[in-house]
Structures are given as C-alpha cells and as structure tokens.
C-alpha cells in the first residue's frame, strides 16, 4: 500500500479545478451551485488523504468526492419545496419510448448526429451546452436525469433519495430525456427539433 501523500493545495486546484467545475456544472446546471460544490470538494480533499500516487489517482479520488457532494446537494434539494413543479408541457413524450425506457427504433430523432458520442465527452462546448439545456429543465427533472444518467445511481436509490414513486420517476425521466434531446439537437448539433422549444 502506498504511503499517504501530502497534498499541495495550489497544485491540486490548478490540476483539477476546471475539470471539477465542468463536472459539477453538467450535473447541477447552475454556475453558483457548481462553484460551491467545487469549493466543498477541495475542502474535503484538503482535510483527507488519498493512498494512491499520481495525477490519475488523484483525479479519480477528487471525482469520488464530487459525486458525494452532488448527491448531498440533491438530497437537500429534495427536502425543500420545488418552486417550478413538474407539469405536462402539452406534448406527449411516451410515444418515443419503449416500456423499458429505451428509444423506439423508429423515433423521429433517429437522424445521424455529426459526431461519435465518444468524442463528445471531452468537448467543453458540449458540456456547456448540456449545462444550459439542463438549466431549462424543471428542477426535479434535472435532478432525476443527473442522478440516473450522469452519475449512474439505480432507480430504487433515486426514488428513495428524492421521495418519488417509480411511476413518477419514469415519467420525469422520459420528459427530461426528450427535452434534453430536443435542446441538444437544436443548440449543439444544429438539427431541427421534433417537439417544442426548450
């Protein structure tokens, strides 16, 4: 087991600050909240130690701390009243999804997007656009999408965390996926939207 490593706070901020900010912003969708989460992550990191060595190990460790901070943020948000409750947007989204939540093969948005998904992960413009689209989602929809699709939490844990029924969770996730798909198609990929503007 590697010896505990002392952390140089300045070097840690320089090495991971921008990445952690984008990571947080893509999940919470608000710049001020993302900044607070980054500060909380650095504070927790400076108070702790990690046992592996090297920048990749340090980055994994910092991401782990950030994921816990994001979940804590959503947990606190779920206990506060929502100012903009989820409401039907006048569009039916169920027709685009199979019963298991996957896109139907003949959904209208099955046009070819100009880039491969693997290449998008590292692109700052994509993450900035995603964060902008997430800001336009109702707060609960953004929370559900973030926890399920970005952080990979399972449905049961999300329902318990946000105090949702399985049916409510499914409807919120379907709406969030459709709205984000339309927003990204318009704002990032330049494709016409299927539904109304986000």
Nearest 10 degrees: CA dihedral of 122, 59, 27, 149? 70
pLDDT category of residue 114 using cuts at 50, 70 and 90: low
Report whether pLDDT(113) > 80: no
pLDDT category of residue 171 using cuts at 50, 70 and 90: very high
What's the CATH code, domain 94-187? 1.20.140.160
* Structure tokens belonging to residue 53: 């060595």
pLDDT category of residue 46 using cuts at 50, 70 and 90: confident
Using CA atoms, how far apart are residues 145 and 150, in angstroms rounded to an integer? 7
Instruction: State residue 49's pLDDT score.
Output: 66
pTM of the model: 0.51
Long-range CB contact pairs, 14-19, < 8 A, 24+? 15/55, 15/58, 15/59, 16/58, 16/59, 16/62, 17/42, 19/59
Higher pLDDT: 78 or 164? It is: 164
Report whether pLDDT(23) > 90: no
Higher pLDDT: 3 or 65? It is: 65
Instruction: State residue 15's pLDDT score.
Output: 84
Report whether pLDDT(43) > 50: yes
pLDDT category of residue 174 using cuts at 50, 70 and 90: very high
Of 25-34, 68-77, 87-96, which gets the smallest average pLDDT? 87-96
Kindly state the average pLDDT of the residues 87-114. 56
Higher pLDDT: 116 or 125? It is: 125
Percentage of the residues of the chain whose pLDDT score is greater than 90: 10
Q: Is 142 exposed, middle or buried (0-12, 13-18, 19+ CB in 10 A)?
A: buried
Using CA atoms, how far apart are residues 108 and 16, in angstroms rounded to an integer? 39
Enumerate the CATH 1.10.1740 domain ranges in the chain, comma separated.
9-78
Report whether pLDDT(28) > 80: yes
What φ, ψ does residue 51 adopt, rounded to 5°? Answer: -105, -15
Higher pLDDT: 87 or 106? It is: 106
Q: Is residue 51 within 8 Å of 4, Cβ to Cβ?
A: yes
Instruction: State residue 130's pLDDT score.
Output: 80
State CA 116 to chain mean position distance: 20
Per CATH, which fold does 9-78 belong to?
Rna Polymerase Sigma Factor; Chain: A (1.10.1740)
Enumerate the CATH 1.20.140.160 domain ranges in the chain, comma separated.
94-187
CA separation, residue 58 to residues 52, 133, 135, 152, 158 (Å): 7, 30, 30, 21, 28
Higher pLDDT: 13 or 155? It is: 155
């Amino acid at each position: 087991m590697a010896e505990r490593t002392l952390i140089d706070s300045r070097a840690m901020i320089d090495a991971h600050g921008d990445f952690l900010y984008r990571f947080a912003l893509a999940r919470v969708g608000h710049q001020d909240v993302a900044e607070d989460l980054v500060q909380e992550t650095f504070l927790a990191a400076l108070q702790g130690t990690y046992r592996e060595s090297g920048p990749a190990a340090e980055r994994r460790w910092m991401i782990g701390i950030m994921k816990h901070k994001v979940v804590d943020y959503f947990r606190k948000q779920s206990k506060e009243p929502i100012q903009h409750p989820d409401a039907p947007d006048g569009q039916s989204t169920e027709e685009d999804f199979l019963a298991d939540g996957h896109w139907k093969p003949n959904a209208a948005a099955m046009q070819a997007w100009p880039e491969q998904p693997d290449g998008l992960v590292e692109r700052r413009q994509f993450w900035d656009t995603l964060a902008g689209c997430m800001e336009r989602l109702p707060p609960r929809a953004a929370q559900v999408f973030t926890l399920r699709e970005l952080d990979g939490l399972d449905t049961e844990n999300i329902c318990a965390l946000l105090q949702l029924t399985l049916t409510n969770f499914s409807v919120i996730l379907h709406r969030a996926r459709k709205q984000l798909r339309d927003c990204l198609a318009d704002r990032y990929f330049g494709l016409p939207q299927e539904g109304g503007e986000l």
